[in-house]
Amino acid sequence: MTWHIGVIGGSGLHEGLALDEAQSIPVRSPFGEPSGPVTTGLIGGVRFSFLARHGAGHVLPPAAVNYRANIDVLKRTGVTDVVALSAIGSLREDLAPGGFVAVDQFIDRTAGRARSFFGEGMVAHVSLADPTCARLSALVADAAESAGAPVRRGGCYVAIDGPQFSTRAESALYRAWGGDVIGMTGMPEARLAREAELPYALLGMVTDYDCWREGEAVGAAEVFAVMKANAALAREAMAGLARVLPAQRTAAPADTALDGAFATAPGQRDGRLLAMLDGVAGRVLRKQE
Ligand SMILES: CSC[C@H]1O[C@H](OP(=O)(O)O)[C@H](O)[C@@H]1O
Ligand SMILES: Nc1ncnc2[nH]cnc12
């Protein structure tokens, strides 16, 4: 199997990647409007498809991003693995702005965002114990290191709704919970990638120390300035990823996340929802026909 890497670019990374033979493809989703068109092309012969998470010109706040449509269109584009690039705040002294973190755990504090492709008439439960793909995360970390970035392998990401940054009391609480970094978009993105059987890695770029340090408080201007300085490094990391990927893609645990996950009896399933799931759950649904 060949690799096809889907890259979701966050704050400061909306201009996309340097892709050979780039083509913009408007992919439609039954889950609504994605953040924008998918741009597909090649890096070093490997196929990459890019989607700007907040839309061109950063028009969508974190809570208004249609995470389901974004994951669904990447799946329909034929993506095999998803790399999320995000600005993150640091909850730890040793994770300094300018560094990268390959996140491996999440605490989800978001509410009111559509967090599953499944629902009434088609109930499914996937495992989220290990929400990121260890293989993909290691490759992404290798690539970021080869681009010259300091990289922390592993870290717990606290996802908040925003759009405001946290209070000092919240920031202290997240540290006490074991959070290492904080952001507004990693969830439900990671959950949905798992439901769509897409291995997911989140490469976070530390832009600030949030507000837990005395006398310091993060502001958007600071985040954007650090992201601007680091955007080239993130793009270089994706070029590096094309170089470190093994020639052939072997199976990853997330590829079969839906095996045994459906609870609703075949005769009780909602036909309309089933039709919408042809992209994300097509592999399993076709087997059951
Ligand atoms: C402008 S700071 C807050 C904003 O930046 C991050 O976005 P993304 O994860 O898409 O890079 C953070 O999660 C917030 O949405
Ligand atoms: N401190 C912070 N809190 C939430 N999201 C962020 N994105 C970048 N820095 C952040």
State the CATH number of the domain containing residue 51. 3.40.50.1580
Find the ligand nearest to 181 CA.
Answer: 2
Does 182 contact ligand 1 (Cβ within 6 A)? no
286 Cβ neighbours under 8 A, 6+ residues apart: none
Indicate whether 234 pLDDT > 70: yes
Which backbone phi and psi does 64 adopt, to 5 degrees?
-100, -5
Lowest-confidence pick of 60-69, 141-150, 193-202, 221-230? 221-230
* Confidence band, pLDDT 50/70/90 cuts, at residue 264: very high
Please classify residue 116 by burial: count the beta carbons closer than 10 Å to its beta carbon, then call 0-12 exposed, 13-18 middle and 19+ buried.
Answer: middle
- The pTM (predicted TM-score) of the whole model is 0.97
Active-site residue flag, 270: no
Residue 262 banded pLDDT, cuts 50, 70, 90:
very high
Nearest alpha carbon, ligand 1 atom 10: 10
How confident is the model over 83-124, as pLDDT tens digits? 999 999 999 999 999 999 999 999 999 999 999 999 999 999
**Residue whose CA lies nearest to ligand 1 atom number 7:** 11
The whole-angstrom separation of Cα 264 and Cα 275 is 15
Looking at residue 229, what is its pLDDT? 86
Binding residues for substrate: 184, 208-210
Tokens of 99: 């560094």
Residue 219: closest CA among 285, 138, 163, 284: 163
Residue 90: CB within 6 Å of ligand 2?
no
Instruction: Tell me if residue 259 is catalytic.
Output: no
* Catalytic residue, candidates 72, 108, 180, 208: 208
Ligand 2, atom 8: nearest CA belongs to which residue? 88
pLDDT value, residue 289: 66
- Report how far residue 41's alpha carbon sits from residue 6's, in angstroms, rounded to the nearest whole number: 11
Give 143's contacts (C-beta < 8 A, 6+ positions apart): 237, 238, 239, 240, 241, 243, 244
The reported pLDDT for the residue numbered 286 is: 86
Question: Higher pLDDT residue, 268 or 288?
Answer: 268
Domain residues for the domain of 146 are 4-287
Q: How many structural domains does the chain have?
A: 1
Q: Are 89 and 181 in contact (CB under 8 A)?
A: yes
Kindly give the distance from the C-alpha atom of residue 170 to the centroid of ligand 2, in angstroms, as a whole number. Answer: 13
ipTM of the complex: 0.98
